[in-house]
Structure 1
Amino acid sequence: MFKSDNYHITTMTKTFLYLFLICSLLACNKKVKTEILNSEENQKSELKYAEGFSITKTTNYTIIEINQPWPNAEKSYKYVVISKANAAKTSFLKDEFDGIIITPIEKIVVTSTTHLPALELLEEEETLVGFPGTHYISSESIRNRIDNNKVRELGKNEGINTEVLLELNPDLVVGFGIDGGNRSLEIIKKSGVPVIFNGDWVEHSPLAKAEWIKFFGVLYNKEKKADSIFNHIEKDYLATKQLALNATTKPSVLSGAMHNDIWYLPNGNSTEAQLLIDANVNYLWNDSEGKGSLQLNFESVFIKARDAAIWLNPSNYSSLDALKNGNENHAMFDAFKNKNVYSFTNTTGKTGGVLYYELGMARPDLVLKDLIKICHPNLLQDYKPFFFKPLE
């Protein structure tokens, strides 16, 4: 009896130990798999300057998170970029992401001219099928597509012609918004077309804005090409910034102009001010705090800048006469009297679109070279300004 009982106890003990060992191995294996999965899901692509978005790679798809699509945004937006093949065998929880973007993208709609240079640099402009306000577009290659009816007019960004857009049936719409209240984009999303927000314009440094080409690199599965393009722009910008340090003088610079008794000019922490700092000039409001525009009265501007050597970006005035007619006080500044007023307003495309508003954000290296040519002409003797021209 005791022998039999001992036998059963021993057998039960062995069985228990065996089951415990199997469970431990399974748990261990599950833990290993989980750790591998987690390590794969946390492979974030490095961004050097941009803070408004992030890229996370997993085995089967990429996640783009837009942290700041517009100023003071209260939430971020997450999107999955996934191939057709992987999408067929992958499921996502409802409301886990704000959009599922299937690649390859064959038809796209973008809503800001700042999005267009990335398409061209990545050699994907032929995927563009619609745009709100095509007359603003300066790019020659895209204008040719417009002239050949390959890019449809979609009205205004704030009120996109959704009927025409849905007829185009794009794979993706890249949206631009100042507060997230664009009803047209909401209608498009509810119709089943993915809408992803692009916040390149919210960034606070020239190179951060330019780095958004990596956002489009993910969408087109051209991340290496996007990295290479940005690295070239960054290298050129930093080399130009270094060159500016060789200047023997720092000319004083005024910016902006009067509108309805208010003078608007860049704040000290704005992208425009950063470009002037990197051009090694004395921007007279460099020490002001803030990232947007200053709004000043004429007297305060005149006291500080009446003797400024150079006047840059006097709003949208296209000539000295227009600047004087806009407000007679403009003619009181030395820079006006000496005809040292420079603007990008007159560098336009075939239908009047200002090239700077389209390409300037993507190519800050060219903008910086323009500023150095104007402010330190001896440093770039053979360079011809790309955007800026003196007002006649």
Structure 2
Amino acid sequence: MIFRWLLALMLASFLFFSCKIQESKTKNTQELTEKILPKYAKGFFWEKGEKNYFVLYVTQPFSDKTDTLRYILAKNKQDVPEKLRHLSFIQIPLKRFVSTSTTHIPALEALGSLHTLVASNSLQYVYSEVVQKMAEQGKIAALSEEGLEVEKILALQPDLLMVSAMPATKMGIYQKIQQAGIPVLPNSEWLEEHPLGKAEWIKLFGLLLQKENEANTFFENIEQEYLKLKNLAQKVQKPRKVALGMPQKEIWYVPAGKSFGAIFLKDANLEYAFASDTGKGSLQLSKELVFSKFVGASLWLNAEIPPQLHSKAFCEYAQIEAVRKNEIYDRQKRLSPKGGNDYWERAVIHPEEVLGDLIQIAYPELLPQRELVYYRKIAVSCP
């Protein structure tokens, strides 16, 4: 009888604690209810909590190291579970934003949130006339390009400091800012391998600004137009060969085969000599090797050099077909008076405009009514 009573007690205890464990597991599982994964971008994703908070994962915060940084985003910190409060906290929606790169500005402008930008560097080179005017009116403080102005940033009391991805060893310069309670978020859009992946970082801005629907709609429109243009280019039966970039002394830097630059060329249906390369960055090759690969190219793109050097620089390579046919283009159509280039700003979130330029240059019959946005033709006269 006693044995049966003990057995029943043990069974009841087991069931009780099993239920508690299961209840705890269920509670922990329910705390994060949805994972939001980008379609092209590989540098971030986030999970949504059941109480109006988000866990943001920046999966490629450093340019030289594989690592993941986590942040907790919420309107009120008390909405965050106790076990997650050790993570760097970002209060959303952002009201005061500091950026160390002008490439972050177009996303703010596209989402109607330039008023949140309180400081940035390189403002003299910004192409956006709206941002230039705000800077002149003192609405956006100018940060030095020579070094991090810690005290100035602290005085601005921003909700977030966004920086470009960099070597992990350099993140230490932001320690004092982080210790003051200001989160520092690396933006690694420039490390993305696909043009649409770079543009998709606008979704992260949408999360930070609590404008997710606007960001999603913006990106969907960009993606739709990009894919439409890509499909249009594939109708060309005989792709044109393309030369790219300019040599620097004895080295010629060209995009690796899996880089976003090479993907642009592929999607524009252009034949690129290094397309089969499996790298994702840039290639540093000898001038002689690259020249030998580009001799048959009927187009020369991304040829940025000072105008006074055009004839001398290009006529040296007169054997390249593009030089003989005067089919040379650079990306300097949209320059501000002080040299700001919109290709490095707006084009980051508008890859469809870049792809449209490439297709229009290579196959003008496909887009007869379109005007070039970022590219312009260079006039060269060789003896």
- What TM-score do you get using the length of structure 1 for normalisation? 0.88
Larger radius of gyration: 1
Root-mean-square deviation (CA, aligned residues, Å) is 2.5
Matched residue of 2:37: which SS?
Answer: coil
- The separation in 1 between residues aligned to 2:184 and 2:287, in whole angstroms, is 43
Stretch moving more, 193-202 or 25-34: 25-34
Separation in 1 of the partners of 2:31 and 2:320? 60
Q: Is the 8 A contact 1:317 1:345 kept in 2?
A: no
Residue 326 and residue 185 in structure 1: after superposition, are their counterparts in 2 closer, same or farther (change >3 A)? farther
Contact 1:159/1:182 (CA < 8 Å) preserved in 2? no
Where does residue 50 of structure 1 map in the other structure? 41
| 1:65 aligned residue | 57
Residues 325-364 of structure 1 correspond to what in structure 2 (within 5 A)? 325=312, 329-364=316-351
Give 3-state SS (helix, strand or coil) of 1:143's partner: helix
- For the 8 Å contact 1:347–1:389, the answer to whether it is kept is no
Q: Secondary structure at the match of 1:167?
A: helix
SS of residue paired to 2:185? strand
- Structure 2: how far apart are the matches of 1:332 and 1:162? 53
Specify the SS of the correspondent of 1:250. coil
Whether 1:176 and 2:167 are equivalent positions in the alignment is no
What displacement does 1:257 show? Answer: 0.7
Q: CA deviation at 1:347?
A: 1.8
Does 2:19 align with 1:28?
yes
Moved more, 16-25 or 54-63: 16-25
SS of corresponding position for 2:74 = strand
SS in 2 for 1:159: coil
1:64-83 to 2 correspondences below 5 Å? 64-83=56-75
Q: Structure 1's 94 and 39: CA in aligned 2 closer, same or farther, altered over 3 A?
A: closer
What's the CA shift string for 1:69-115, capped at 9, x where partnerless? 2333242100011112xx13546458842x11012211101122221
Trace 1:311-322 onto structure 2 (pairs within 5 A).
311-314=300-303, 316-319=304-307, 321-322=308-309
Contact 1:43 1:56 in 2 (8 A): yes
Query: Aligned pairs, how many?
Result: 377
Aligned to 1:3: none
2:122 matched residue in structure 1: 133
Q: Give, in angstroms, the shift of residue 306 of structure 1.
A: 2.1
Query: Does the Cα contact within 8 Å between 2:127 and 2:336 map onto a contact in 1?
Result: yes
Q: Distance in 2 between matches of 1:384 and 1:367?
A: 12
1:133 shift after superposition: 1.3
The answer on 1:167 being equivalent to 2:155 is: yes
Secondary structure in 1 matching 2:345? helix
Aligned counterpart for 1:292 among listed residues 274, 281, 287: 281
1:359 is displaced (CA, Å) by 1.8
Residues in 2 aligned to 1:22 and 1:70: alpha-carbon distance in whole angstroms: 50
Matched, 1:41 2:32: yes
Q: Is the 8 A contact 1:264 1:294 kept in 2?
A: yes
Tell me, what secondary structure is at the counterpart of 1:360? helix
Distance in 1 (alpha carbons) for counterparts of 2:254 and 2:311 = 18
Q: Secondary structure at the match of 2:94?
A: coil
Cα distance in 1 between the residues matched to 2:171 and 2:214: 32
For 1:368, the equivalent position in structure 2 comes to: 355
Give the match for residue 213 of structure 1.
202
Contact 2:30–2:50 (8 Å) recurs in 1: no
Aligned partners of 1:241, 1:209: CA distance in 2, in Å? 17
Cα offset, 1:19, TM superposition? 9.8
Q: Please say if residues 324 and 331 of structure 1, whose CA atoms lie closer than 8 Å, have aligned partners that are also in contact.
A: no
User: Aligned partners of 1:89, 1:227: CA distance in 2, in Å?
Assistant: 25
Structure 2 counterpart of 1:217, one-letter code: G
Shift of 1:243: 0.6
Q: Residues 378 and 94 of structure 1: is their aligned pair in 2 closer, same or farther, counting only changes over 3 Å? A: closer
Partners of 1:94 and 1:378 in 2: how far apart?
A: 57
Contact 2:298 2:320 in 1 (8 A): no
Shift of residue 294, structure 1, vs aligned partner: 1.7
Asked if 2 retains the 8 angstrom alpha-carbon contact of 1:173 and 1:194, the reply is yes
- Hey, what's the Cα distance between the residues in 2 that align with 1:236 and 1:169? 39
CA contact (8 A) 1:251 1:281 kept: yes
| Aligned counterparts of 2:10 and 2:286: Cα–Cα separation in 1 | 83
Selected match of 2:299 from 279, 286, 310: 310
Aligned to 2:109: 120
In the superposition, relative to structure 1, how do residues 383 and 346 fare at CA in structure 2: closer, same or farther (>3 Å)?
A: closer
In the alignment, structure 1 segments of 5+ residues that lack a partner are 1-5
User: For 1:318-368, what per-residue CA distance to the aligned partner results, in whole angstroms no more than 9, with x for missing partners?
Assistant: 43x423445762455332232211111242134321111112221111110
Residues 132 and 154 in structure 1, CA contact (< 8 A), matched pair in contact too: yes
Contact conserved, 1:278 with 1:368, CA < 8 A, in 2?
yes
Query: Displacement, 1:124?
Result: 0.9
Contact 1:318 1:345 in 2 (8 A): no
1:386 aligns with 2:373: yes
Q: TM-score, normalised by structure 2?
A: 0.90
1:289 aligns to what SS in structure 2? coil
Distance, in Å, in 2 between the alignment partners of 1:268 and 1:234 is 22
